[in-house]
């Protein structure tokens, strides 16, 4: 494969810019580079990249939450990660400025979603790639995030055009890395291996892997049952084989869904749950990673000076 300088990483099956099919092949559909390749050469850099870099200067840490397949609890994990990080008493309260205002769940926890821009809760998002990529650009460039410690990006499952756009726009703003969510069974791990390969190809650091729905612990008798048996050793074994950090296991707890439906923090509502303890241990490891990443970045900048 060939890649146009300054463009997003090529999708799987890219014919290359020198091919007669550049910009017209099936793999080109929805690719942010499609128009560029079809034109036969590089165009001027997207000005939004520089604008987003400037906008993200007030955001200390940027974390992407990925999953190889849907239904593994990625959005639920993103929600609990945000709640857990917001409990840190050393955080500063957001200062309002200009741009789109995110919706505040708590004094120091806000969220922005396409759902807020739809006419009703039952409306479907029927958008082609360019419009979705444009919305990603707006969320990063036009939302007034202010002075915050963490930006958690809950991405769609898989390795789609949206992922390429997010990485492209945030690349110059120094992404801390990606957290990959999976469930224990092999069918999920197969997709996660592809997700890990995607991260390597686009040079996106991997903070680690979380095994979600890792057994069910009965709230009354405390007996654990494997709902999704880890027939090939689960995420921990996979991480050992691929030399990827394993952040921990989160067991199933039916009270998680109830807290989410009410818009409340499960970590605060049920502090004694094994799932809460697992979340807190994982969040601590993520904070430690971000602290070390921040130190290494400062050290690198000092050496360049």
Q: Are 5 and 45 in contact (CB under 8 A)?
A: no
- Nearest residue to 180 (alpha-carbon basis) of 216, 148, 204: 204
Same domain, 32 and 62: no
Check residue 93 and give its pLDDT: 47
Q: Which two tokens stand for residue 202?
A: 């686009």
Q: Are 142 and 21 in contact (CB under 8 A)?
A: no
Helix axes 129-141, 161-171, angle to 10 degrees: 30
Please tell me the total count of domains within the chain: 2
Check residue 39 and give its pLDDT: 62
Same domain, 186 and 238: yes
Same domain, 8 and 65: no
Same domain, 36 and 107: no
Q: At a CB cut-off of 8 Å and minimum separation 6, what does 266 contact?
A: 80, 83, 253, 255, 256, 259, 260, 273, 275, 276
- Nearest residue to 195 (alpha-carbon basis) of 178, 171, 173: 178
Same domain, 31 and 78: no
Q: Which two tokens stand for residue 180?
A: 């990959």
Check residue 26 and give its pLDDT: 76
Positions in the chain short of pLDDT 50? 1-6, 92-95
- Nearest residue to 287 (alpha-carbon basis) of 56, 58, 63, 57: 63
Beta bridge partners of 177: 63
Q: Are 22 and 15 in contact (CB under 8 A)?
A: yes
Same domain, 171 and 150: yes
Rounded CA-CA distance 249/246 in Å is 9
Rounded CA-CA distance 252/77 in Å is 12
Check residue 9 and give its pLDDT: 62
Check residue 305 and give its pLDDT: 52
Print the domain residue range for 36: 1-45
Q: Which two tokens stand for residue 268?
A: 């605060």
Q: Which two tokens stand for residue 184?
A: 């224990």
Check residue 264 and give its pLDDT: 87
pLDDT, one tens digit per residue, over 217-242 is 777 887 888 999 899 999 999 999 99
Q: 141 by DSSP, 3-state: which?
A: helix
Q: What is the pTM of this model?
A: 0.78
Same domain, 110 and 217: yes
Same domain, 260 and 212: yes
Rounded CA-CA distance 154/203 in Å is 19
Check residue 249 and give its pLDDT: 96
Check residue 301 and give its pLDDT: 57
Q: At a CB cut-off of 8 Å and minimum separation 6, what does 77 contact?
A: 65, 179, 181, 210, 212, 250
Identify the CATH number of the domain in which residue 56 sits.
3.40.50.300
Q: Which two tokens stand for residue 246?
A: 């394993």
Check residue 211 and give its pLDDT: 96
Same domain, 241 and 217: yes
Check residue 174 and give its pLDDT: 87
Q: Are 149 and 283 in contact (CB under 8 A)?
A: no
Same domain, 94 and 196: yes
Q: Which two tokens stand for residue 12?
A: 């799987």
Check residue 293 and give its pLDDT: 65
Same domain, 61 and 151: yes
Q: At a CB cut-off of 8 Å and minimum separation 6, what does 149 contact?
A: 59, 60, 61, 85, 88, 91, 92
pLDDT, one tens digit per residue, over 142-183 is 898 888 999 999 998 888 888 999 998 998 888 999 999 999
Check residue 298 and give its pLDDT: 55
Q: Are 154 and 73 in contact (CB under 8 A)?
A: no
- Nearest residue to 46 (alpha-carbon basis) of 168, 184, 204, 166: 168
Same domain, 127 and 235: yes
């Amino acid at each position: 494969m060939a890649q146009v300088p300054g463009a997003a990483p090529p999708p799987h099956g890219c014919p290359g810019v020198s091919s007669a099919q550049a910009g017209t092949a099936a793999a080109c559909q929805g690719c942010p580079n499609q128009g560029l390749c079809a034109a036969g050469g590089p165009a001027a850099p997207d000005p939004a990249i520089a604008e987003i870099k400037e906008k993200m200067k007030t955001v200390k840490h940027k974390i992407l939450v990925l999953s190889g397949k849907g239904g593994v609890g990625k959005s639920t994990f993103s929600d609990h990660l945000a709640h857990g990080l917001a409990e840190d008493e050393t955080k500063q309260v957001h200062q309002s400025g200009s741009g789109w205002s995110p919706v505040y769940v708590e004094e120091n926890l806000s969220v922005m979603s396409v759902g807020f821009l739809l006419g009703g809760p039952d409306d479907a998002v029927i958008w082609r790639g360019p419009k979705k990529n444009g919305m990603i650009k707006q969320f990063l460039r036009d939302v007034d995030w202010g002075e915050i410690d963490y930006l958690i990006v809950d991405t769609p499952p898989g390795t789609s055009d949206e992922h390429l756009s997010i990485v492209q726009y945030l690349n110059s703003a120094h992404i801390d890395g990606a957290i990959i969510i999976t469930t224990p069974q092999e069918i999920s791990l197969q997709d996660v291996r592809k997700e890990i390969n995607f991260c390597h190809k686009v040079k996106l650091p991997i903070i680690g892997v979380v095994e979600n729905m890792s057994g069910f612990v009965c709230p009354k008798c405390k007996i654990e049952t494997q709902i999704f048996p880890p027939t090939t050793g689960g995420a921990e074994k996979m991480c050992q084989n691929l030399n990827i950090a394993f952040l921990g296991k989160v067991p199933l707890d039916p009270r998680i869904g109830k807290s989410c439906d009410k818009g409340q923090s499960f970590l605060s509502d049920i502090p004694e749950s094994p799932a809460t303890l697992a979340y807190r241990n994982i969040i601590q490891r993520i904070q430690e990673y971000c602290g070390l990443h921040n130190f290494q970045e400062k050290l690198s900048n000092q050496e360049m000076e």
